[in-house]
Each structure stands twice: as C-alpha cells, then as structure tokens.
Amino acid sequence: MAGGGTSIRKYVGALKDSTTVSIAKVNSAYKQLDITIVKATNHVERPAKEKYIRDIFMHLNSGRARADVAYCIRALARRLSKTRNWAVALKTLIVIHRALREVDPSFHDELISYGRSSGQMLHMSYFKDDSSPDAWDHSAWVHNYALYLEERLESFCVLNYDVELDPLGTRDVDTTGLLAQLPALSQLLFRLNSCQPHGSSSYNTIIQHALAIVPTESVRIQTAINDGILNLVDKFFDMHRDDAIRALDIYKKALMQAGQLSGFYDTCKTIHIGWGEKLLTIKQPPASFLQAMEDYVRDAPLASKNQAVLAIEYNRKPKEEEASTPPPPLPQVSTVVPCKQVGCR
C-alpha cells in the first residue's frame, strides 16, 4: 500500500511538471527560462542536472538586462511559494544558494531588492509536505535550510560584504563595528548549525547534495567570528562597561557555538559530508581568561551616568547564575585539517 502511494505521488508530480511546461510554452514571454526552471526544480527525488542550473545562472548574470534578471528571480520565487512538495522547494533553494555563491555579487543586490519590494521569498515558516512520514521529516530540514539562506542575506546587509568572499573582514574593524557585526555572524552560524540533519533526512540524496555546500561556508563564518573575537579581546580591557558587557556576552556565545559547530562536523562526517574539505580544528585558551574578562566588567569605568543602570543590572545576577559553572573557554582556529576522501565530493 505504501509503495502504491509513493508511485501515485511520483505520477502526480510528473504530471504537474508536464502541465507547467506546457503552460510555459504557450503563455510565457520567457518560455525557455520557465521550462528550464521547471526541469531544474522538478518533483523527481534526485539532484537536478547541472546543465539546467547553468542555464538559469546565465539569466542571472550581470551582463543580462536587469528585466531578465528580475524575471528569473520572480520565477524562482513563484516556484518556491506555490509548491507543497519538499523536493521542488529544496531544489529551488539549492539553485538560489548556488547562485549566491557562483553568480557575480550583483545577484545579492537584486535578491535583496526583490525581498524588500515583494516580501521575503525565502520565508517558509508555514511550508510543510505531509504526503508521507519521510516528506514531513524532509520538510523540517527544508525549513531550516531556507532560514539559513535568509540569514545569509540579512548578514550581507549588516556586514556590507559577503563573508564567503571576505572572511577576514572583521580583523581590523573598530569596537562599534565589531559589536554590530559579530552578533550578525553569530546568528548566521546559529542558522547554519540548525541545518544539522536528523532521521531520514540524513540519508536523502538531495538533502546531502545541499548539505555538501554548508561545511565550506561554516569555515568562512567561523574564521570571521574567530578573527572578530580576537580583535574584540584585544580592545576589551580598554572598553567602558557598557561595551564590555556586550563584548562579554558575544564572547560567551562564541564559546557555545564553536562547540555546536564541532558537533555539526561530526554529524556530517558520519554521513560522508565534508570529507576532503579543510575543516577547522578547534582549540581552547586557558580557562582563566574568561574569569579575567568577567572581573574586568565588574570594575570597568562607565562611559556616562546614563549607563550606570546597565552596570547595576549586570551586577544584580541571581545567586544561582553566579554560582553556575562558567562556559568553556573560547575555541580558536589552529591549523586546518584535511579530512580523508571517502567517495564524496
């Protein structure tokens, strides 16, 4: 019975793709592009053919007329918003993700511009495919993946650069810039860590295809955070108390997230994702350093009387919080360690 249901779903999906192609041939001024998008994001539960993705990228290149680029983005957004099939949604997200990486930077601007004028195209909080238990499981991963891509665009707006292209952008930023950029990078890493697959999603070929991109990006994000933290620590003991409180919170969060990233890498390796990639080796500084930062915050000078309230609130911690064990020290990047290649690229 279950096998029969699967066959019916595949038949219905193929029929929908065929119908959409037929409509495009009749009604669309961009019929070849519309057909290519359907073929690249069809209901077939395996990765799209590379030639269709490359054809789409040609329409997103900065050398094309802006109207052509805008139409292509609208067509992808329409495909994403109308589908209730996890495979179609995921393939569309993969096209967008790869375009962010492989098409020239103007695509970022066009995608952000579309989001501001038409609503966030990557907002998929209500998406679900309940056609089968596995489809439900895959839908949860698709949702988290969309949130990561959405956060990728948000961080681009805050940082004013793509961390994938410039992971060293936090190395020479001033204190004000660090206190703005590091939380944005932290949120991006949080969304990336949420892409850790569970259950049947761990072994689905399309999900693995999307996930294969993520470890490489995590290295860039964590490098930017590590460089930013080192820069922040260098400035920390000269900060006024309000900035020091914020910096200490950023530092503690970085500790926690680095541990989560190590867990993410371990999961990826068990399903042969990231083998052959140069992933980060995480080391810890002396545990006494965090205590020194906390001691400084309590005695740090105030910038003005208006900020005394913030300092008072910091010193009024509940007893149970004061007695809690401090988080582990900040992880640092040492050398990169190539993983062994195990039949996966």
The amino acid sitting at 134 is D
In this predicted model, which residue has the larger pLDDT, 337 or 48?
Answer: 48
- The CA dihedral of 92, 97, 102, 107, to the nearest 10 degrees, is 90
* Residue, of 261 and 312, whose pLDDT is higher: 261
Looking at per-residue pLDDT, the higher value among 131 and 97 belongs to 97
Other CB atoms within a 10 A radius of the CB of residue 270 amount to: 9
Task: Determine the Cα–Cα distance for residues 79 and 336; give it in Å rounded to an integer.
Answer: 39
Contact 194, 187 (CB under 8 A): no
Residue type, 78: R
* Cα angle 185, 188, 194; round to 5: 145
Q: Residue 2 has what pLDDT?
A: 47
pTM: 0.81
Residues 18 and 41: their CA atoms lie apart, in Å, by: 12
Question: Does the pLDDT at position 1 exceed 80?
Answer: no
Q: Strand (E) positions, the chain?
A: 278-283, 332-338
Per DSSP bridges, beta strands 278-283 and 332-338 are antiparallel
Residues linked to residue 333 through DSSP beta bridges, in sequence order: 282
Average pLDDT, the chain: 81
Alpha carbon dihedral 229, 311, 242, 189, in 10-degree steps, equals 40
Interval 289-315 mean pLDDT? 72
Question: pLDDT tens digit string along 140-187?
Answer: 999 999 999 999 999 999 998 889 888 788 988 999 999 999 999 999
What pLDDT, on a 0 to 100 scale, did the predictor assign at position 60? Answer: 93
Averaged pLDDT for residues 271-289: 70
Length of the chain: 345
Three-state DSSP class for 277? coil
298 CB-contact burial (10 Å; exposed 0-12 / middle 13-18 / buried 19+):
exposed
Q: Is the pLDDT of residue 194 over 70?
A: yes
DSSP string over 59-94: HHSTTS-HHHHHHHHHHHHHHHHH---HHHHHHHHH
- Distance (Å, whole) CA 204 – CA 197: 10
pLDDT in tens, 71-83: 999 999 999 999 9
- State how far the Cα of 40 lies from the Cα of 49, in Å rounded to an integer: 7
pLDDT-based confidence at residue 269 (cuts at 50, 70, 90) = confident
